[in-house]
Copies of this chain bind each other. A is one copy, B any other.
């Protein structure tokens, strides 16, 4: 299963549920819930207390069957120190774990469902971080799934929980629900019209965090943004999601409006940009990761607005993953590639994919 997770360009939760029609499904790429949990009577991960680290890992190994019983999926436990550096980086590039987990440290593992819709980081900042992912805007479903997993684990081991503060976590910013809900949005029209920066500022002022999925803030590569809640105390999981959902729907509306503005503006200039991006992706012999994501973003928007034929619903999502440096190395079957070898290989992968 590890091979499948490493090799597949597209995790099943990222596959479009609605391959052609719905414009919204192309704006909100995915939804994610993360719950930070720690076990009672064990030291926090950052204390580096070997017995506790070991205990956490073995507990998680012990609950695989319970997890399967909870949601019917096959689970496996991947010991991260048994992976190569590239393999760990791929799990990071695929958003199955955080960049911190890319380092080679003992007793770290990833518990992952066969369809990659659940990934539990073991001994990251907290003892466990349960993550559930859904394609499109489906925070509620992701939360239900996360709580199911959460309950299943709690039925086997007690969490560190305080009546007044809620779940106790290594970093005080997570105390309370321990929940971070987030969505990955493709906002090319807002980036093109320049409205994105003002929107990011307002959303940040409302207490949400906005990050480029690759790259930060307005430098978001491929115009992909991740929006998440920051507050975890004094508000329930349900309310957090309801409020975040409103913010996301507002952003989607703004993106739709920006797309309308492009439609009603100098549309030929837009067509020119889209077709040139397509031509470059189809023919370039060298592509940097940054350029590839930018061109892919233009091409996806071009497909959404009917300039390009809908090449394949998932070509954008897929290439966004495939063109990342480590995935690319793995794909090429070479553990170490120079940046320039990667640029050549990236161009080839993109050409081949577009030719299909």
Q: In the assembled complex, how far is the CB of residue A350 from the closest CB belonging to chain B, in whole angstroms?
A: 12
When the two chains form their complex, are residues A279 and B286 in contact, meaning their CB atoms are under 8 A apart?
no
When the two chains form their complex, are residues A269 and B282 in contact, meaning their CB atoms are under 8 A apart?
no
Indicate if A271 sits at the interface (CB-CB under 8 A): yes
B residues within 8 A CB of A283? Answer: 275-276, 278-279
Smallest Cβ-Cβ distance to A279: which chain B residue: B279
When the two chains form their complex, are residues B285 and A282 in contact, meaning their CB atoms are under 8 A apart?
no
Q: How many angstroms from the CA of A271 to the CA of B344 in the assembled complex?
A: 11
**Contacting residue for A272 out of B269, B282, B285, CB 8 A:** B285
Smallest Cβ-Cβ distance to A307: which chain B residue: B285
Interface class of chain A by DSSP: helix
Indicate if A284 sits at the interface (CB-CB under 8 A): yes
B residues within 8 A CB of A285? Answer: 268, 271-272, 275
Produce 1/0 per residue, A324-356, CB < 8 A to B: 000000000000000000001001000000000
Q: In the assembled complex, how far is the CB of residue A61 from the closest CB belonging to chain B, in whole angstroms?
A: 48
Q: How many angstroms from the CA of A268 to the CA of B282 in the assembled complex?
A: 16
Smallest Cβ-Cβ distance to A340: which chain B residue: B268
Q: In the assembled complex, how far is the CB of residue A267 from the closest CB belonging to chain B, in whole angstroms?
A: 10
Indicate if A79 sits at the interface (CB-CB under 8 A): no
Indicate if A280 sits at the interface (CB-CB under 8 A): yes
Smallest Cβ-Cβ distance to A273: which chain B residue: B285
When the two chains form their complex, are residues A279 and B284 in contact, meaning their CB atoms are under 8 A apart?
yes
Looking at A278, A285, A347, the one whose CB has the most chain B CB atoms below 10 A away is: A285
Q: In the assembled complex, how far is the CB of residue A292 from the closest CB belonging to chain B, in whole angstroms?
A: 13
B residues within 8 A CB of A275? Answer: 283-285
B residues within 8 A CB of A344? Answer: 268
Smallest Cβ-Cβ distance to A270: which chain B residue: B285
B residues within 8 A CB of A272? Answer: 284-286, 347
B residues within 8 A CB of A280? Answer: 276, 279-280
Q: How many angstroms from the CA of A280 to the CA of B278 in the assembled complex?
A: 9
Q: Could you show 6 A-B contacts with beta carbons less than 8 Å apart? A: A268-B286, A272-B285, A275-B284, A275-B285, A278-B279, A280-B280
Using a CB–CB distance below 8 Å, which chain A residues touch chain B? 268-269, 271-272, 275-276, 278-280, 282-286, 344, 347
- Please give 6 more A-B residue pairs, beta carbons under 8 A apart, in addition to A268-B285, A272-B285, A279-B284: A269-B286, A272-B347, A275-B285, A276-B283, A276-B284, A278-B283
Give the 9 A-B residue pairs with the shortest CB-CB distance, closest first.
Answer: A279-B279, A279-B283, A272-B285, A275-B283, A272-B286, A271-B285, A276-B284, A279-B280, A268-B285
